[in-house]
Amino acid sequence: MSAGKEGNTVGNVKNMLKNRRGDAFVFLLILIFFILTLAAILMEYFRMESLYQQAEYVLQRGVNSAVEYAMRDEYRRDGYLLLDTEEAQTQLYEYLHDSMGLDAELNKYAGTQWNYRLEIKELLVTESPPRLTLTGEIVSRSVFSFLTGEVRLPFTISSVNTQTTEGGLE
């Protein structure tokens, strides 16, 4: 864009703001509408990001604690790492209900207001190597749910118990 056209555009905006017909008022209303819309979109994005990070962090703690609790200690001293798979699943679901405060349908409430729901797609637990992998989605509502419906945030969280010895991994 040339300097003459740029200067002409600035001049047009100045003339419009000086105009007594009300064009400036309409222009300001449109400008304020776009600024408020952009602010609402950014706030909602960061709210959903914060919700996702918080839930993912708590889920990672739950998966880690379930694996650690379900390790078969009687084999550790011999150098074998084995996981009690049923105990790991039980511990994970107890964590989801007790520590995360989820109800029987895995819904999270803040007081009486619904926050989100966990939908577990796959729970893979292996005895050796001791591993628990949780795959699913966090389902929530957005301020813009009239446009988007439910918001689904996928996650995959895994925990593996490894044995280290004086020289590295075995």
* pLDDT tens digits, 64-91: 999 999 888 776 667 778 889 999 999 9
Two tokens, residue 110? 């803040």
Residue 21 lies in a domain: no
**pLDDT at residue 94, as a whole number:** 94
Task: Report the alpha-carbon distance of residue 164 to residue 159 in Å, rounded.
Answer: 16
Domain count, the chain: 1
Strand residues in the chain grouped as ranges (E): 107-110, 113-126, 131-141, 150-160, 164-165, 168-169
Residue 33 lies in a domain: yes
**pLDDT at residue 79, as a whole number:** 72
Residue 149 lies in a domain: yes
**pLDDT at residue 162, as a whole number:** 78
Q: Tell me: cis bond preceding 154? Omega within 30 of 0 counts.
A: no
**Does the structure show a pLDDT above 80 at 49?**
yes
Residue 113 lies in a domain: yes
Range of the domain at 86: 28-169
Residue 42 lies in a domain: yes
Task: Report the alpha-carbon distance of residue 59 to residue 25 in Å, rounded.
Answer: 51
**Does the structure show a pLDDT above 60 at 167?**
no
Average pLDDT of the segment spanning 131-137: 95
**Does the structure show a pLDDT above 90 at 10?**
no
Residue 117 lies in a domain: yes
Instruction: Find residue 137's DSSP bridge partners.
Output: 119, 154
Going by pLDDT thresholds of 50, 70 and 90, the confidence category of residue 166 is low
Residue 20 lies in a domain: no
**Does the structure show a pLDDT above 70 at 5?**
no
Residue 6 lies in a domain: no
**Does the structure show a pLDDT above 70 at 16?**
no
Going by pLDDT thresholds of 50, 70 and 90, the confidence category of residue 28 is confident
**pLDDT at residue 8, as a whole number:** 72
Average pLDDT of the segment spanning 18-37: 82
